[in-house]
Amino acid sequence: MTLRLHNFFRSSTSTRVRAALNLKGLPYDYVAYVLRNDETRTPEYLARNPQGLVPTLELEDGTSLTQSLAIIEWLDEVHPEPPLLPKDAIGRARVRALAGMIACEIHPLNNLRVLFRLRDQFGADEDAQKDWFTHWVTLSFDALEAGLCSTSATGRYCHGDTPTLADLCLYAQVWNNRRFDIPLDPWPTIARIFAELDRLSAFRDAAPSNQPDAA
Amino acid sequence: MTLRLHNFFRSSTSTRVRAALNLKGLPYDYVAYVLRNDETRTPEYLARNPQGLVPTLELEDGTSLTQSLAIIEWLDEVHPEPPLLPKDAIGRARVRALAGMIACEIHPLNNLRVLFRLRDQFGADEDAQKDWFTHWVTLSFDALEAGLCSTSATGRYCHGDTPTLADLCLYAQVWNNRRFDIPLDPWPTIARIFAELDRLSAFRDAAPSNQPDAA
């Protein structure tokens, strides 16, 4: 028995958890779902994850953990090395806030079910969806760039010189931005950190294009 | 010197933090901002919080903490009694996931700046905004109800018999729902827990209608 990750290659919340598992050196079974085919709306899946969302991390005893940030905090508590949060409380608050700027302010507005809803309720075509997506990325990436470039707490990565929860979110979001070809030029610190992360096999191996279900 | 909470009475992320401060028994100065007047877009405020969002918790030494969940985790680490997360890792993961179902799946889609964007980009009137708001509440409250009523881990509150991070999010979201008069009838467990929380002065005193800037 091993960990099983129920996920989808392009899901950015899934990317976060894959990179966290890789950083922790934890092997896992990859279970792929096609979101467009409602494969996460079956009674079996909904029993694991009542929201019908990915990812779900299934533990060895069958327990299902949901919500990517909650899963990553659990991983960090149960498998503390290498740590994904700094040791000091202020540093931890900073990292969680940087993560929240992406996880609570960009991703929820831009995932597939939201774009579908914009199409269905407002007739938003691909161009309108791109305007919407780009608007939320720009608002929060402008603020994230300001928060990163204004302090020496930022190092090689978002906080110091080892990857944290904030980097997991940043890396996955930059991949997500590629759906609408959003260039990183306006945000040089974010671009630099993404490039640093992309050199690490734990992140690279978690990237959407490197998953077994990538078309 | 004391803690200063930069916030807005109706903001549900502010409500979460106010209730957390009350539960911890921590006094704080209440600094009110009118979001519609762009009072959180001044250079002074943006230096504290590059996103121009509420809440910001200003510590005694001037440090600013942002993002409500990060603030609450910090409060729980630095002022551990009474705890806002259970002691066991699986319980903590459950509480953080329940919180995430609201904080990452409902609130980001329904806050004021999103409703303004729907109006500006798609001409969404009050009825269309209500349809949008209700759609996301319904999707996640259906799942939250399923996650709460299916296990004995739920007690008087979302997890056991003491309030946790999940209850802070639930309480604030139910208040937020009142903006569009969404009744709780479809979700009896959520309604029961809200009523229990509303009996606690820590929560009641944090409610939007009881703040100094409530009209």
* 45-64 of A, contacting B, C-beta below 8 A: 46, 50-53, 63
Q: Does the pLDDT of residue B1 top 80, yes or no?
A: no
Q: How far is B205 from chain A (nearest CA, A)?
A: 25
For residue B117, the tally of other CB atoms under 10 A from its CB is 17
The model's pLDDT over B187-206, given as tens digits with 9 standing for 90+, comes to 999 999 999 999 999 999 99
Residue A181, SS3 per DSSP: coil
- Per-residue tokens: B110: 């329904």
Q: Please check whether residue A80 touches B, CB under 8 A.
A: no
| CATH match of A89-204 with 1.20.1050.10 | yes
- Residue A50 CB partners (closer than 8 Å, separation 6+): B142, B143, B144, B146, B147, B150
For residue A144, the tally of other CB atoms under 10 A from its CB is 27
Rounded to an integer, the average pLDDT of A164-191 is: 98
Q: Does the pLDDT of residue A132 top 70, yes or no?
A: yes
Tell me whether residues B69 and A131 touch, CB distance under 8 A: no
Q: What is the CATH number of domain B3-82?
A: 3.40.30.10
Q: Which of B51, B122, B144 sits opposite A143 (nearest CB)?
A: B51
Sign of the CA dihedral B101, A66, A138, B16?
positive
Tell me whether residues A67 and B144 touch, CB distance under 8 A: no
Residue A36 pLDDT class (50, 70, 90 cuts):
confident
Q: How far is A42 from chain B (nearest CA, A)?
A: 14
- Mean of per-residue pLDDT scores for chain A: 97
Domains A3-81 and A89-204 agree in fold: no
Q: How many CA atoms lie within 13 A of A187 on its CB side?
A: 23
Could you report the predicted ipTM of this complex, rounded to two decimals?
A: 0.98
The DSSP code sequence of A11-63 is -HHHHHHHHHHHHTT--EEEEE--GGGTTTSSHHHHHH-TT--S-EEEPTTS-
Rounded to an integer, the average pLDDT of B118-142 is: 98
Q: What is the DSSP letter of A130?
A: H
Residue B36 pLDDT class (50, 70, 90 cuts):
confident
Q: Is the pTM of the predicted complex or chain greater than 0.95?
A: yes
What is the Cα gyration radius of chain B? Answer: 17
User: How big is the A-B interface in CB pairs under 8 Å?
Assistant: 130
Q: Which of A197, A195, A198 is nearest to A187 (CA)?
A: A195
Q: Please check whether residue A97 touches B, CB under 8 A.
A: yes
Q: Which of B181, B35, B177, B206 is nearest to B106 (CA)?
A: B177
B40 neighbourhood in chain A, CB within 8 Å: none
Q: Does the pLDDT of residue B103 top 70, yes or no?
A: yes
Q: Please check whether residue B93 touches A, CB under 8 A.
A: yes
Q: Which of A101, A121, A147 sits opposite B132 (nearest CB)?
A: A121
Q: Which residue of B has its CA nearest to A56?
A: B97
* 7-46 of B, contacting A, C-beta below 8 A: 46
3-state helix, strand, coil in chain B (%, to 5): 55, 10, 35
The one-letter amino acid code at A82 reads P
Instruction: Give the H or E element holding residue B28.
Output: strand B28-32
Q: How far is B140 from chain A (nearest CA, A)?
A: 7
Q: Does the pLDDT of residue B88 top 90, yes or no?
A: yes
Q: Which residues are paired to A82 by β-bridges?
A: none
Q: Which residue of B has its CA nearest to A110?
A: B109
Residue A1 pLDDT class (50, 70, 90 cuts):
low
Q: Which residues are paired to B28 by β-bridges?
A: B3
Class of domain A3-81: alpha beta
Domain range annotation of chain B: 3-82, 89-204
CA distance A132 to A124: 9
First to last CA, chain B: 28
∠ CA A138-A143-A148, rounded to 5°: 120
A80 close to A74: Cβ distance less than 8 angstroms: no
Q: How far is B197 from chain A (nearest CA, A)?
A: 23
